[in-house]
Each structure stands twice: as structure tokens, then as C-alpha cells.
């Protein structure tokens, strides 16, 4: 159903130069904040829900290209690697002024952070382990001192905190990269894992991302191989963590093209509400460093789905991700590195 949604005009994100590694989150109830890396510096800009920049603008926050950001209500938290420690800083989402910082000893090449009503949780990639660290939201408390091994992988993974009790991790097995896993992790460190898929002969798997909401669990990933038929963007849908799943293909002949050193997933899956998920991806047919920014609107039910697909940008950097913010009742927002390779861009979707 190509073209059922419209794509609004692109707008340039403010910044000092060629920016990369975008992140985007809701900042309070009426704003969206975007984050970009220039050199090793992370910059932040605040927008209204229409995508208009309202400030503060282009605020330098920290120096680290290995970072992630999460928000909940009045909390805005950034986790980042510096030296042999991971730092967690809480910011005022309206002013982008740091409120408090804590840290713990770890060296990671990639990390994710999620937040619930009591804690910020940092998931790091250390060697071939995803490890989890719990940080209290109470001032002065910080890390609880425990390190928890979650799942084995050696490439970027995704994490969703769907409730105050359970988190979910999508990952690919290390070294051979021929299986995708969905792992449930409770706040009490109970871990349950399910195999989502195994790769067909001649393919490897990457960029696992997930969305959870309305009782549904969606995991998306890219398959890559020498044959055109082995290059696919695929999604698993299940109703309930232990429910039966169905796997469907969004596109054949295209895949993602991550560098092994990339700090980004090339796909981002978000639950918008009303049993609807929004998937963004940067897809390439030729294996070059350029790709198409794509978006998929996926309406699900316990027995099926309805999908609309559209091209957001026909030529963009394939290595820097395209985070998307799903906004109920208004156009969604997507952020990506634009065709020139030197411009950070955003667009409204479904407007």
C-alpha cells in the first residue's frame, strides 16, 4: 500500500556541521527533543510536536559518541561512555540543564538506556554480553552496585521498558549472526528468552529492533546475503510474549548496511498506540553507504495486520539510523542524516 501516507517537507536540524548518530524522544507532554553527534560532542534541540524548533537549540551536552537517551514525564536521562566508566546524567527537559550525574565502571562499544517510575536502566555491550545496570531516580543514590548478564550478542540490540516490571531485549546471536532472540527481563532479574527466527542458508541477520504495546510484540530485523532473495526486511508479530508468532516480509531485495563500528540500529520500531506500530529503516539494494529512508505503518490485531509503506528520503546515509517518534492524532516525526551527508534532517509523516 505504497503512498497511502504522505511525507511532509524536510527541515534542517540546527547544528555546527556534519552531524550523525541521531536520537529522538518525547520531552514532557508537548515537546520532542532530538540529539546528534558532531565530532564527539552530543548536541540537543527541543521541538514542539509539529517539529518546529522552539529551543533551546543546538545545546552541547556531553562529549561521547557512544550514548543513548530516554525520557519519562519530567525525566530526561542520557547515558554515555567516557574512559572506563559509563555516566548517567539527568537533565531538565525544558532547559537542557544537567541536574545530577552518577557513573559506574564499564567499557562498552554500544549502550541503550530505558526509564521507569523508579529507575533508569542502562544496557551495555561488553565483549559478547549485554549487561544491565540499575540507577535510582532518587538524588544521590546512583547505581545499586550490581551487574546483571542478560543475553549474548556482539552487535547493536534494542530494549523496550513496557512496564515498571518487565523489559524486553531484541538481539542477534554473536559471531555467526544467524538467529534473532526476544528476551524478557524482570526487575527481579528473571530472564526468559524466545527464538524469533533463524537465518536461511546464505544469510546473516542484523539490526533487531522491537516494539511492545496493546498486548502485541513486534520484532523487526534485516536479512543480508549475496542473492537478491536473501536481502529482506522482516517482522515477527506475536500477541503475548509466549503467544504464537507470524513472520512477514516488508521488502525483498533490500537490506540494511551497518558498519560493524556503528553505534546505531538502522531500524527503529515504536508503538504509537491504538494497536499501531511505526517502523523506520534505512535500506539499500546495492550494499553502498547510501540508502533509502523508509517508514512502515503497521496496524495489528490478534489475528493479522494491515501495512502501509512509504519512502521518506530516496538517498541518505545508511550508517546512522533514522529514529522515529509516533504521535497519536498528529503527524509522526522522523530524524535522519540527509543526502548531502552533512545535513541533519527531520520530516513529518502522515501529514
pLDDT single digits (tens) 219-250: 999 999 888 888 999 999 999 999 999 999 99
Predicted local confidence at residue 3, as pLDDT: 44
pLDDT for residue 174 is more than 80: yes
**CA distances in angstroms from 161 to 64, 71, 183, 269, listed in the order given:** 24, 11, 12, 13
pLDDT band at 290 (very low <50, low <70, confident <90, very high): confident
Mean pLDDT computed over 168-180: 96
Distance CA 47, CA 291 (A): 26
Predicted local confidence at residue 2, as pLDDT: 46
The whole-chain average pLDDT of the chain stands at: 91
Judged by phi (left if over 0) then psi (alpha if -120 to 50, else beta), residue 50 lies in alpha
Contact 312, 280 (CB under 8 A): yes
Mean pLDDT computed over 149-178: 94
Closest CA to 22 of 42, 47, 2: 42
Task: Report helix, strand or coil for 229.
Answer: helix
Distance CA 219, CA 158 (A): 10
Contact 114, 70 (CB under 8 A): yes
Distance CA 10, CA 345 (A): 6
Distance CA 19, CA 32 (A): 18
Task: Report helix, strand or coil for 230.
Answer: helix
Closest CA to 318 of 298, 289, 281, 296: 289
For residue 331, count other CB atoms closer than 10 A to its CB: 19
pLDDT for residue 171 is more than 90: yes
Strand partners, 179: 198
Contact 221, 243 (CB under 8 A): no
pLDDT band at 351 (very low <50, low <70, confident <90, very high): low
pTM of the model: 0.95
Amino acid at each position: 500500500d505504497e503512498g497511502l501516507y504522505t511525507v511532509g517537507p524536510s527541515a534542517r536540524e540546527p547544528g555546527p556541521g556534519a552531524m550523525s548518530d541521531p536520537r529522538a524522544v518525547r520531552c514532557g507532554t508537548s515537546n520532542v527533543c532530538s540529539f546528534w553527534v558532531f565530532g564527539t560532542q552530543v548536541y540537543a534541540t527541543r521541538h514542539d510536536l509539529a517539529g518546529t524548533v522552539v529551543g533551546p537549540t543546538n545545546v552541547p551536552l556531553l562529549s561521547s559518541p557512544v550514548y543513548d537517551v530516554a525520557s519519562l514525564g519530567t525525566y530526561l536521562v542520557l547515558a554515555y561512555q567516557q574512559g572506563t566508566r559509563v555516566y548517567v546524567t539527568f537533565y531538565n527537559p525544558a532547559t537542557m540543564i544537567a541536574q545530577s550525574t552518577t557513573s559506574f565502571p564499564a567499557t562498552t562499544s554500544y549502550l541503550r538506556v530505558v526509564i521507569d517510575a523508579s529507575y533508569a536502566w542502562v544496557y551495555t555491550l561488553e565483549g559478547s554480553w549485554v549487561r544491565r545496570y540499575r540507577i535510582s531516580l532518587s538524588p544521590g543514590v546512583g547505581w545499586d552496585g550490581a551487574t546483571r548478564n542478560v543475553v549474548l550478542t556482539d552487535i547493536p540490540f534494542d530494549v523496550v521498558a513496557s512496564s515498571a516490571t518487565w523489559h524486553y531485549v531484541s538481539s542477534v546471536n554473536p559471531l555467526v549472526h544467524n538467529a534473532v532472540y526476544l528476551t524478557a527481563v524482570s526487575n527481579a532479574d528473571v530472564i526468559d528468552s524466545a527464538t524469533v527466527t533463524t537465518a536461511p542458508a546464505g544469510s546473516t541477520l542484523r539490526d533487531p529492533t522491537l516494539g511492545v504495546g496493546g498486548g502485541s510484540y513486534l520484532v523487526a530485523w534485516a536479512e543480508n546475503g549475496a542473492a537478491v532473495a536473501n536481502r529482506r526486511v522482516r517482522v515477527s508479530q506475536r500477541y503475548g510474549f509466549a503467544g504464537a508468532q507470524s513472520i512477514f516480509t516488508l521488502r525483498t531485495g533490500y537490506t540494511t548496511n551497518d558498519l560493524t563500528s556503528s553505534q546505531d540500529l538502522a531500524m527503529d520500531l515504536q508503538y504509537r498506540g491504538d494497536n499501531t506500530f511505526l517502523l523506520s529503516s534505512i535500506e539499500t539494494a546495492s550494499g553502498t553507504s547510501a540508502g533509502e529512508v523508509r517508514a512502515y505503518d503497521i496496524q495489528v490485531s490478534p489475528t493479522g495486520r494491515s501495512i502501509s509503506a512509504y519512502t521518506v528520503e530516496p538517498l541518505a546515509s545508511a550508517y546512522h539510523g533514522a529514529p522515529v517518534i509516533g504521535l497519536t492524532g498528529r503527524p509522526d516525526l522522523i530524524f535522519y542524516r540527509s543526502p548531502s551527508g552533512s545535513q541533519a534532517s527531520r520530516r513529518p509523516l502522515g501529514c
